Amino acid sequence: MFFPDATYADIDQSLARASGYYDEFRTMPGSKRATFLNQISSLLEKKGGKIVKLANEETSLGKPRLEMELVRTVATLKIFAQLAENEKWQNESMENPKEDSAIGTTFSKINLPIGIVVVIGACNFPLAISVVGTDTASALAVGCPVIVKSHPAHAATCQLLADLVCFAMETTGIAPGAFQLLHGKNHEITKKLVLHPKTSCVAFTGSFKGGRELAKIASRRQIPIPFHAEMGSLNPVILSPKKILQETEQIAFDYVRAVNLYAGQMCTKPGILFFLSYLNFSSFFECVRRAVLQERILPMLNSEVHRSYEESIRIMEKETSLLATNEQVHTEHHYPAFCRIFKLEAKQFLKKPELRVEAFGPTSMLVLCKNEHELLESINSLEGSLTASLHCFSEEKNFRSKLIPILESKVGRLLWNGFPPGVISGPATHHGGPWPATTDSRYTSIGREAYKRFVRPLCKQGFPIHT
């Protein structure tokens, strides 16, 4: 299917329509927005088979993966429907001073919707981080009109989902200004949306290169706006010597499985693993090799993602040694995601900043540190990530006490004896991290608290209570 690029006139018209509906949408009872979101979730469940079939044709992610993603998306919509219903997102607080107070007046604070939100979704999550994903659902829940820029890698899926949202608007009495979809392969369309004077906030999920460029544009506007981006992430894994010696095979296989999960096309894929190399870890290397050969070769999303992955591999081949690969295994896939694990010494890693960049695909590096000083120096050299994983025994207090403070300063989610792929939409979920993982580590793009990106506080002084 062909979807023509939106024109500048289309963009102006969409923003004008959203702006004209903003006051009505933000002030309507939360229960009405809840009904709207629940209707979308019901339609997704009803049309689930058709949605998954089309998304699989466009992305090759596979029916099982997409079916799980659909379930997650439906659950997310229900979470934010509940948030809209109870209106707890308003977070109203009140201070009523005593007569002898120096303040002598009443203060109240409440959250307001920030305005029109532009959503630029991910290529690797056509449902959960796309048209009806967390960005859209959380913004709609708090009364922000949403304009989604479709992803060209799955434009037909985007349109199908948008059609369902539009039907939900019709059946629940929500005007078209609340939600709109625009298509376009041209990057200028995205820039125009970010620059448009009626855009109040942007939510972006994508590459570091694209996110950094759009963040600059958002900050240089005549009136700067919040730009919430999730971008590149290495997601380091650190193994203690005791852990790796006692659980060699299990750790090796779990690590490779996490690297290859969904062809490594996950923002939380472990892209680097550190361990102390003063012991003989040849058995660990052999387990990694066997694990790689046992992993399925999966297709990548499209030719562009495959090309970018292979370019990253060529950089790594120049600076590291290939430890394990399944390239020798025959596959029928047009864009095969061959799993590759590289290794190098910490002193080499510290000299090569180009290796401290995410490679989007099923590849990772083993960094061999000859002592704790090299280990700490290597981890300190990393930029921000979404996650980090620390594998050690509880009795290794000295080992973890040196690492945890550093890791806490580098990531938004720290795992104990686990691997990071996968995240749930819970109240304690945080999917964010210091730059370049995200543009603002205080906020999450997954989970109930995602709505906080799309509200701003208003303080009222001297007003009668509840006015």
Of the ranges 266-270, 277-281, 301-305, 417-421, which one carries the lowest mean pLDDT score?
277-281
- pLDDT-derived band at 105, boundaries 50, 70, 90: confident
In DSSP notation, 148-215 reads EE--GGGHHHHHHHHHHHHHHHHHHT--GGGEEEE--S-HHHHHHHHH-TT--EEEEES-HHHHHHHH
Crossing angle for the helix pair 30-46 and 63-86, nearest 10 degrees?
A: 160
Name the CA dihedral angle for 198, 202, 206, 209, rounded to a multiple of 10 degrees.
70
Q: Which CATH architecture has domain 8-231+438-461?
A: 3-Layer(aba) Sandwich (3.40)
C-beta separation of 254 from 415 below 8 A: no
Residue 53 has pLDDT above 80, yes or no: yes
Provide the annotated active-site residues: 230, 267
Residues 60-76: pLDDT tens digits?
899 999 999 999 999 99
Percent of the chain with pLDDT over 70: 97
**What's the rounded mean pLDDT across residues 159-181?**
97
Every domain of the chain with CATH number 3.40.309.10 lies at: 236-416
pTM value surpassing 0.85: yes
Superfamily of domain 236-416: Aldehyde Dehydrogenase; Chain A, domain 2 (3.40.309.10)
Rounded distance between C-alpha atoms, residue 213 and residue 228, angstroms: 13
C-beta separation of 137 from 77 below 8 A: yes
Name the CA dihedral angle for 305, 310, 313, 315, rounded to a multiple of 10 degrees.
-100
C-beta separation of 412 from 441 below 8 A: yes
Residue-averaged pLDDT of the chain: 94
> What is residue 104's predicted lDDT score, i.e. its pLDDT?
66
Every domain of the chain with CATH number 3.40.605.10 lies at: 8-231+438-461
Higher pLDDT, 455 or 420: 455
C-beta separation of 194 from 217 below 8 A: yes
Distance of CA 390 to the CA centre of its chain: 21
Q: b/e per residue, 33-53, with b = 16+ CB within 10 A?
A: bbbbbbbbbbbbeebbeebbe
Task: Establish whether the linkage from the previous residue to 4 is cis, with ω within 30° of 0.
Answer: no
Higher pLDDT, 387 or 96: 387
Alpha carbon distances (Å) from 465 to 96, 104, 262, 462: 9, 15, 53, 9
Residues 203-221: pLDDT tens digits?
999 999 999 999 999 999 9
Exposed, middle or buried by CB within 10 Å (0-12, 13-18, 19+), for 187? exposed
Rounded distance between C-alpha atoms, residue 465 and residue 92, angstroms: 11
Tokens (6 digits) for 359: 């490679």
Residue 100 has pLDDT above 60, yes or no: no
Alpha carbon distances (Å) from 405 to 244, 274, 400, 417: 22, 16, 9, 17
- pLDDT-derived band at 278, boundaries 50, 70, 90: low
